[in-house]
Amino acid sequence: MELSAVAFYVVAGVTLVAALGVVVARSVVYAALLLILSLVMTGLIYLLLLADFLALIQILVYGGTVSILLLFALMLTPPETRPELNHRGWALGAVTSGALFALLLVASLADKWPAAGAARHISLVDLGRALFSTWAVPFEVASVVLLVALLGALTIARSTSPGSKIARRASA
C-alpha cells in the first residue's frame, strides 16, 4: 500500500472519529473543538486528493473562521441559557443512520460507475475570471444573501428583554 493511501486512511479515520465525537460529546465546548478537528481533517483530505485551493478554503474558512465564530458564540452565551443536551433518541438515530448508510452502500456497490476522466488543472486566475464574469450575478446574489443572514443574526441576537444591558442602555 502506498504512503498516500495510508495517509488518506489515517486522516479519514481521524475525521470520522472527530465527527462521531461531535455528536456524542456531553460538553458543547468539546463538541465545538471536535468539530474544528473534523473540519481541518476534511481540508487535509482535500489536500491529499490534490485539490489545493479547496483544501485552503476548507481550512481557512471552515476550520478557522466559522469555528472561531462558534467558539466566541459559546463563550459569550451565559451558561444558564444553553440548552441541556439529552441523548434519549440516540439509539434510534444510530439505528436509522446505520440503516441509511447500509442502503447507500448497497446502492453504490450494485451499480457500475463510469471511470472519471482526468480533471483539467484550473489556475486561480481562471477561477477568478470565471467567478467575476460568467458567474458574477450568482456571486453577488450570494453576497446579498450572506449580508441579509448577518443582519438577521444581529437582529435575533440583540436581546431587548428586561434586565439586559441593551434594554438598560436604551431606557437610560
Cell 456571486 -> residue: 139
Residue 54 lies in a domain: yes
Residue 145 lies in a domain: yes
**Domain-ending residue, one of 60, 82, 104:** 82
**Domain-ending residue, one of 82, 112, 141:** 82
pTM: 0.62
Work out the pLDDT band at 165, boundaries 50, 70, 90: low
Q: Give the three cell numbers for residue 165.
A: 444591558
Cell 457500475 -> residue: 112
Parent domain of 129? 125-172
Q: What pLDDT, in 10s, does the model give residues 20-75?
A: 999 888 888 888 899 999 999 999 999 999 888 899 999 998 888 888 888 888 77
Long-range pairs, 23-32, Cβ under 8 A, ≥24: 24/87, 24/90, 26/85, 28/74, 28/82, 28/85, 29/71, 29/74, 32/67, 32/70, 32/71, 32/74
Residue 170 in 3-state DSSP?
Answer: helix
pLDDT of residue 42: 95
Residue 61 lies in a domain: yes
pLDDT of residue 45: 96
Does pLDDT of 127 surpass 70? yes
Please return the burial class of 87, using the count of CB atoms within 10 Å of its CB with bins 0-12, 13-18 and 19+: exposed
Residue 97 lies in a domain: no
Please return the burial class of 55, using the count of CB atoms within 10 Å of its CB with bins 0-12, 13-18 and 19+: buried
Q: What pLDDT, in 10s, does the model give residues 71-122?
A: 888 777 776 665 666 767 878 888 999 999 999 999 988 888 788 777 777 8
